[in-house]
Structure 1
Amino acid sequence: MQTNELRRGPRMAQAIHDAALRLLVERGYDGLTIEGIASRSGVNKTTIYRWWPSKDAVLAAALTASDALALAIPDTGSLRGDLRALARRIAELVTDPATAPIAGALLAAGADRPQLAVVAREFFADRLLQERAMLDRASERGEVAAAVDPRSLMDLLAGAIWFRVFVRGEAPTEADLDAVVDTVLYGLDGRAEVG
């Protein structure tokens, strides 16, 4: 890498990441190209290829560096309140036109896109670490047993929302989100007091 490139590296990388995510939103995964990223970012495509071997690698780097899907973990004082707030934020992220295509790219990361699959796994592992604090607080308050598996709980909650949006093509309503939270917390027997 040339001396000038070294100095401009972080700024150039940010421009490339921003361009990749904007193009993903505008054109979808199939419309995302290295040529398009180069044109939008103002960075030569040979420089992009020097840093990343493919559009998947660029997108993986952009997703890792971006705070577009940032998720503040709520602390409402109750597990149900925390899960309701978290469910609403997840629903916003996967339905907002600015972030839904980004979330969709993470969801689509499969065997045929190994670099994106790695990023998706890292992304969700990091989320789980953040969400674990919410469950630890609930355990300290006596709302949930310490043995509850955070991954299963969050898979049920977030998975229901992602499935509703990306598979069924429906935006969840407030009542839908409350029903998901209550089912995750209390099961299907309907005997739990909900407040």
Structure 2
Amino acid sequence: MKPVASASRRPTAVGRGKKMRTAVLEATIAELTETGYAALTVDGVAKRAAVHKTTIYRNWKDSTNLVADALASHFAQDIPIPDTGAVDSDLRELARTLISTMTTRAGQALLVTVLSDAVRIPQLAEVKSALFGDRFRRAAIVVTRAIERGELPADTDPTELLKTLAAPLYFRLVFTGEPVDESTADHAVRVALAAARAHALPPV
């Protein structure tokens, strides 16, 4: 009868390199969702990812760097940018997608981590800045196309319009906990477009 290998000597189940990194980052997101940032541990991530704790420490300095990397990787995924031919419907799709993503259990946990813990943790603050910067850059084409079609004033700043659209949604999601749904998204779109068309937003 062969001896049973001790837990400390068991082989890494997910291998090395890209496969290991993917498993660890996905496990980190799952742990954030279940426990929150304050209770997250490298031990918990290692167990969920089926890797040794030493594997994580060889690749990430500490749990904060691990979380920052996991969040950056998660939010760097491409988001669908609608092209319906009209700015109103394009922005409605964007706003509704934001709500549907952020109202999942995982979305809420990640949002709290990025927006709340970033106040005191520099690495997470960098992730937050990169996250919003990336989102605004990706979605700017929606506003640019609308200007080219004559649907919005020529001096409309895409980022300012998108901030005006997103602000009331994030306020409910993060601060007040009020319900958000498609009607919330549609109202935010109407307000943002009205402000742009009235030249009430800071110009380019």
Question: Which TM-score tier does this pair reach, normalised by the shorter chain?
Answer: 0.7 to 0.9
Note closer, same or farther for the CA distance 1:123–1:68 as it changes in structure 2 (3 Å cut): closer
- Give 1:1-195 correspondences, 5 Å limit: 8-66=16-74, 70-187=78-195
How far is the alpha carbon of 1:174 from its aligned partner?
A: 2.5
State the one-letter code of the partner of 1:184. Answer: A
Contact 1:93 1:103 in 2 (8 A): no
Structure 1 residue runs without a partner (length 5+) = 191-195
How far is the alpha carbon of 1:71 from its aligned partner?
A: 2.4
Q: State, as a whole percentage, how many aligned pairs show the same letter.
A: 37
RMSD: 2.3
Note closer, same or farther for the CA distance 1:109–1:125 as it changes in structure 2 (3 Å cut): farther
Deviations 1:115-157 (A, max 9, x none): 1111111121111111111111111101112321222211121
How far is the alpha carbon of 1:110 from its aligned partner?
A: 2.4
Contact 1:68 1:99 in 2 (8 A): no
Distance 1:182 1:10 in 2: 44
Contact 1:87 1:177 in 2 (8 A): yes
Distance 2:150 2:110 in 1: 37
State the SS of the aligned residue for 1:128: helix
Q: TM-score, normalised by structure 1?
A: 0.85
Q: TM-score, normalised by structure 2?
A: 0.82
How far is the alpha carbon of 1:69 from its aligned partner?
A: 6.5
State the SS of the aligned residue for 1:164: helix
How far is the alpha carbon of 1:68 from its aligned partner?
A: 8.5
Counterpart for residue 5 of structure 2: none
Distance 1:108 1:73 in 2: 27
State the SS of the aligned residue for 2:120: coil
Distance 2:103 2:46 in 1: 28
How far is the alpha carbon of 1:78 from its aligned partner?
A: 0.9
Distance 1:111 1:98 in 2: 20
Contact 1:95 1:171 in 2 (8 A): no
Structure 2 residue runs without a partner (length 5+) = 1-11, 199-204
State the one-letter code of the partner of 1:46. Answer: T
